[in-house]
Amino acid sequence: MTAVIPFGELKRACGNCSLRELCLPYGIGESDLRRLEQLVQRHAPVARGKQLFLQGDPLRSIFAIRTGSVKSVTVGEDGAEQITGFHFPGELVGFDAIAADVHDCSVVALEDTSVCEIPFDRLDELSGCVPGLRRQLMRLLSREIQQDQQMLLLLGKKGSEARMAAFLLSLSSRFVGRGLSASRFHLSMSRGEIANYLGLAMETISRLLARFQQDGLITVDGREVALLDLPRLHVVADMGSDGGGFTRRREG
């Protein structure tokens, strides 16, 4: 968060970035891209467990993840912590702070993570001149609203199996968009963090993973996961609280 990389290296930061199609530069012309690049500050990587910013910090910048992964955590008055999201390369964090100029969640690295910092005032200013940038910025804000509302549906209406399946599928589809495997990946978060995020107990996560494996849906080895049966996982993820269990334990 301190050492800024010198100017020479910064040049073409966004233009060369493999994530540009996911990130802010999407749909921006060459010359405007150059103006955006001038705002971006690259930093030395953030170590696992360190924060990008804390809940309560004033809004200065938003951040794009370049490599690694982070979680965002909100803590309520009573001290209850809720993880409100995990974020991967190409995704931006800090949007919640625009409303009141204060971050209302903390963002913490799950592994060593490098980010691009973008001062918000200057981004706002630039977005006035560059319609494509403004539009993309709003799209990204809107997408976060969408995702949060999907999550509300998950927490409000779905049982533990559907939550777990939806979580795995969400990771899978995000990794695909980044050129990684849809069916084999590494979990950068602990069981406890998954549990927190899904509104379940850690023990429940453990049991669900074991059960999914027994039933041939997935393979788990520590934090390495393989999804074996995507179609069936989708069925499980779409089960309403009604739908019945995906494996009616055959009694007898």
Partner DNA sequence: TCGATGCCTTGACCTGGATCAAAGGCGCGG
Partner DNA sequence: CCGCGCCTTTGATCCAGGTCAAGGCATCGA
User: 135 or 191, CB closer to DNA?
Assistant: 191
For strands 92-93 and 106-109, give the pairing. unpaired
CB 2 to a copy of itself: min, Å:
27
User: 31 or 249, CB closer to DNA?
Assistant: 249
Neighbours of 193 (CB within 10 A): 19
Assigned token pair, 226? 């393989």
Picked from a copy of itself, DNA, none, the partner binding residue 192 (CB below 5 to 8 A depending on kind) is DNA
Question: Which has the closest alpha carbon to 69: 42, 108, 16?
Answer: 108
CB 157 to DNA: min, Å:
10
Residues 6 or more apart whose Cβ sits within 8 Å of residue 133? 24, 28, 32, 36, 126, 127
Picked from a copy of itself, DNA, none, the partner binding residue 220 (CB below 5 to 8 A depending on kind) is DNA
Assigned token pair, 136? 């993309």
Interaction site with DNA (CB under 7 A): 159-161, 190-192, 199-207, 209-210, 220, 222-223, 241-242
Contact 237, 162 (CB under 8 A): yes
User: 153 or 210, CB closer to DNA?
Assistant: 210
Interaction site with a copy of itself (CB under 8 A): 74, 76-82, 84, 95-100, 104-105, 124-125, 127-129, 131, 134-135, 137-146, 148-153, 155-158, 196-199, 238-243
User: 173 or 190, CB closer to DNA?
Assistant: 190
Return the SS3 of 61: strand
